[in-house]
């Protein structure tokens, strides 16, 4: 019995969606909540999970087709419904050849798979269910509404490597996000069509993935033809009974191997066990009785493929993201000694952190350096090297230069006493963490105060388009996040309507997903004002750069304690206070110094007042 997968509701105003990519094919098994397909609407791109476990029996809406909410997209059952579409029934051809041997002998020796082992396709010899030469195109998927192209930065697989469904195949860089492109199918990478550092449009063909039989068949085609001619020359043109055909197939196992030996393997490799031959074809073949004698033709696949397959498996398990590699370098963890807990044995950040913790706990205290010895500085592996700019770095550079050339920028700085906020944090941080799961840092206070001031002075939140000034209806604050790839600014949307709990949770989530390269392009666009926390690295303040089309950016320095003159009823006194510098850079074409001063004054008064208990959200 099969069940229908329908397009769920994706929002109040969303009535339909377009299927952009199927992550499963007919005949594939799927688990509950496993991503089944990707759907794009006018507001969001998302994955549709499977509501049930089973086998995909039928796909009713193809890629690039549009369906209304509630429409049936596919049917999932126990697999009986997809029997006619499954490649498992392709071996029926040899049975037909046995029933009518006369036409098979007249047309081509390749059709006599039951009685003539040398003429079977290489894909059958390798244990593959796909016909020889089959392949599917891997195209650049849609990465966001405004993204039309991407640059291939690195191929994670080489030609001849095996790849699983959803396994990362390559890395692509756009002007908004760097991301990995997974393989939609399982098989062997047969051809790479777009090389590294080359740019391709969305929908452009990147590579071809197939069963892995096409390349070996092409290399051994002359030998196969010669073997087929030798077999055809044998006095076996008359029809043979099925039993006699099966026995002749076993008897001729060594003959084709000797007539077409592999160039990279000794002659005795032709008599290798079936298990070794299956490894060379990337898949262990079925027993001879299940393949109707086709398993005896494994020598058609070159022996060097065994090394390729094993090397590919090792590379799959050993591949780590740049973030994990950097973390391992910082913690002194040897990646080759780890066994990953991720998909396919991939090493994750958690594996590195666990190894670092266990190593630090195992080290005796006596092994520490003498107290008088200064720690040796860490030497970067980039020292003395040269490398090309990444696409993201090029985009940042171009936009920075365009911003300075196209705008008139200056910076205004104020000093703010945040002692009351510091005391509130100290009193509420444990309760806040327990109820929200987020740490109560200073940044949410700065974001809330800035959002409220933007509502009062919308000129700081405006954008310039030629000789027009646009005042947005919401305060979408871009939060600058430092990543290994460069500075990225995910957007905290409608910050003016959120409390400290919501702001803190969203900032933590955006920052984490930005560093893990899991943001969608839409989450990096639409900002109207930027907040950069330069104090997180100890800087007192800086003069941040405005990025178009925004007209202002505020930098928050480090919160430090220092002696300050405080005025009271009994006169002035000196006290230890927590202070911070706020630096506002703005486009002087439309923002005057007085506008900037008024904005900063409201932010300072809001922060120094410290009345945020009602905004905690706990």
Q: What is the mean pLDDT of residues 50-73?
A: 88
Do the strands 66-68 and 16-22 form a parallel or antiparallel pair, or are they unpaired?
antiparallel
Phi-psi region of 33 (alpha: psi -120 to 50; beta: other; left: phi over 0): left
Q: CB neighbours (10 Å) of residue 560? A: 13
- Give the pLDDT of residue 556: 96
Alpha carbon 597 to chain centroid, angstroms = 43
Higher pLDDT, 324 or 429: 429
Determine the Cα–Cα distance for residues 343 and 35; give it in Å rounded to an integer.
Answer: 15
Comparing 102-106, 149-153, 383-387, 474-478, the range with the smallest average pLDDT is 102-106
In contact, 299 and 253? CB cutoff 8 Å? no
The per-residue DSSP string of 336-350 comes to: GG----SGGG---HH
Which residues, 6 or more positions from 448, have their beta carbon under 8 angstroms from its beta carbon? 495, 498, 499, 500, 503, 612, 615
pLDDT of residue 335: 81
Q: How far apart are the first and last CA of the chain?
A: 49
Lowest mean pLDDT segment, chosen from 86-100, 355-369, 426-440, 496-510? 86-100
CB 547 within 8 Å of CB 402: no
Residue 306 has pLDDT above 50, yes or no: no
The residues assigned a catalytic role are 588, 592
Sequence-separated (6 or more) residues with CB below 8 Å from residue 259:
118, 223, 226, 227, 230
Whole-number Å distance between alpha carbons of 301 and 556: 64
Query: What confidence category does residue 107 fall into, taking pLDDT thresholds of 50, 70 and 90?
Result: very low
Q: Are strands 552-556 and 529-532 parallel, antiparallel or unpaired?
A: parallel
pLDDT at position 11 is: 65
Q: How far apart are CA 423 and CA 445, in angstroms?
A: 13
CB 209 within 8 A of CB 162: no
Query: Could you tell me how far CA 570 lies from the centroid of its own chain?
Result: 63
d(CA 152, CA 171): 6
pLDDT for the residue 211: 76
What is the average pLDDT value for the chain, to the nearest integer? 75
Mean pLDDT of 136-142: 87
Tokens of 538: 């100890």
Q: pLDDT class for 505, splitting at 50, 70, 90?
A: very high
pLDDT for residue 574: 93
Residues listed for the chain: 618
Domains of the chain: 1-85 (2.40.50.100), 86-131+215-309 (no CATH), 320-357 (4.10.320.10), 391-615 (3.30.559.10)
Neighbours of 617 (CB within 10 A): 16
Q: What angle do CA 578, 582, 584 make, to 5 degrees?
A: 175
Decide: helix, strand or coil at residue 206: strand
Supply φ then ψ for residue 577, to 5 degrees.
Answer: -130, 155
């Amino acid at each position: 019995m099969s069940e229908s997968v329908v397009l769920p509701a994706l929002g109040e105003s969303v009535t339909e969606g377009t299927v952009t990519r199927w992550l499963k094919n007919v005949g594939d098994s799927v688990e509950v909540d496993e991503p089944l397909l990707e759907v794009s609407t006018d507001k969001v791109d998302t994955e549709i999970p499977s509501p049930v476990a089973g086998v995909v029996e039928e796909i009713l809406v193809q890629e690039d087709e549009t369906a209304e909410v509630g429409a049936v997209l596919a049917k999932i059952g126990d697999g009986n419904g997809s029997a006619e579409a499954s490649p498992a029934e392709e071996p029926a051809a040899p049975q037909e050849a046995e029933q009518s041997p006369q036409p098979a002998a007249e047309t081509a020796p390749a059709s006599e798979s039951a009685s003539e082992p040398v003429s079977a396709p290489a894909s059958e010899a390798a244990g593959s269910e796909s016909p020889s030469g089959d392949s599917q195109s891997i195209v650049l998927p849609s990465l966001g509404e405004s993204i039309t192209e991407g640059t291939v930065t690195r191929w994670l697989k080489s030609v001849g490597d095996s790849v699983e469904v959803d396994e990362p195949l390559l890395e692509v860089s756009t002007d908004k996000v760097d991301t990995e492109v997974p393989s939609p199918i399982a098989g062997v990478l047969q051809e790479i069509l777009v090389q590294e550092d080359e740019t391709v449009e969305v929908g452009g063909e990147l590579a071809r993935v197939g069963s892995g039989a096409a390349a070996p068949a092409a290399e051994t085609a002359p030998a196969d033809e010669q073997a087929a001619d030798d077999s055809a020359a044998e006095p076996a043109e008359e029809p043979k009974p099925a039993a006699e055909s099966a026995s002749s197939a076993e008897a001729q196992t060594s003959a084709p191997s000797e007539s077409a030996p592999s160039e990279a393997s000794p002659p005795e490799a032709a008599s290798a066990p079936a298990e070794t031959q299956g490894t060379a074809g990337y898949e262990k073949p079925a027993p001879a009785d299940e393949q109707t004698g086709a398993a005896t033709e494994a020598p058609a696949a070159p022996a060097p493929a065994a090394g390729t397959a094993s090397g590919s498996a090792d590379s799959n398990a050993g591949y780590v993201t740049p973030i994990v590699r950097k973390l391992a370098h910082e913690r002194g963890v040897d990646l080759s000694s780890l066994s990953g807990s991720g998909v396919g044995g991939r090493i994750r950040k958690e594996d590195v952190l666990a190894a670092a913790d266990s190593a630090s706990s195992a080290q005796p205290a006596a092994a520490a350096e003498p107290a008088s010895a200064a720690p040796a500085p860490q030497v970067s592996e980039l020292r003395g090297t040269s490398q090309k700019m990444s696409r993201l770095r090029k985009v940042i550079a171009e936009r920075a230069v365009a911003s300075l050339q196209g705008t008139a920028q200056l910076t205004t700085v104020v000093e703010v006493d945040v002692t009351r906020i510091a005391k509130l944090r100290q009193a509420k941080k444990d309760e806040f963490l327990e109820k929200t799961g987020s740490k109560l840092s200073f940044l949410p206070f700065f974001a809330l105060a800035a959002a409220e001031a933007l509502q009062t002075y919308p000129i700081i939140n405006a954008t310039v388009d030629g000789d027009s000034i646009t005042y947005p209806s919401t305060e979408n604050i871009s939060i600058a996040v430092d990543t290994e790839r460069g500075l990225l600014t995910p957007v905290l949307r409608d910050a003016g309507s959120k409390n400290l709990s919501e702001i803190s949770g969203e900032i933590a989530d955006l920052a984490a997903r930005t560093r893990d390269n899991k943001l969608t392009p839409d989450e990096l666009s639409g900002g109207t004002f930027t907040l950069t926390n330069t104090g997180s690295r100890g800087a007192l303040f800086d003069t941040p750069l405005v990025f178009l089309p925004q007209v202002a950016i505020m930098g928050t320095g480090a919160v430090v304690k220092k002696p300050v003159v405080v005025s009271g009823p009994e006169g002035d006194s000196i006290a230890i206070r927590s202070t911070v510098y706020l630096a506002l850079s703005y486009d002087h074409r439309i923002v005057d110094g007085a506008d900037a001063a008024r904005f900063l004054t409201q932010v300072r008064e809001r922060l120094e007042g410290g009345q945020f208990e009602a905004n905690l959200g706990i």
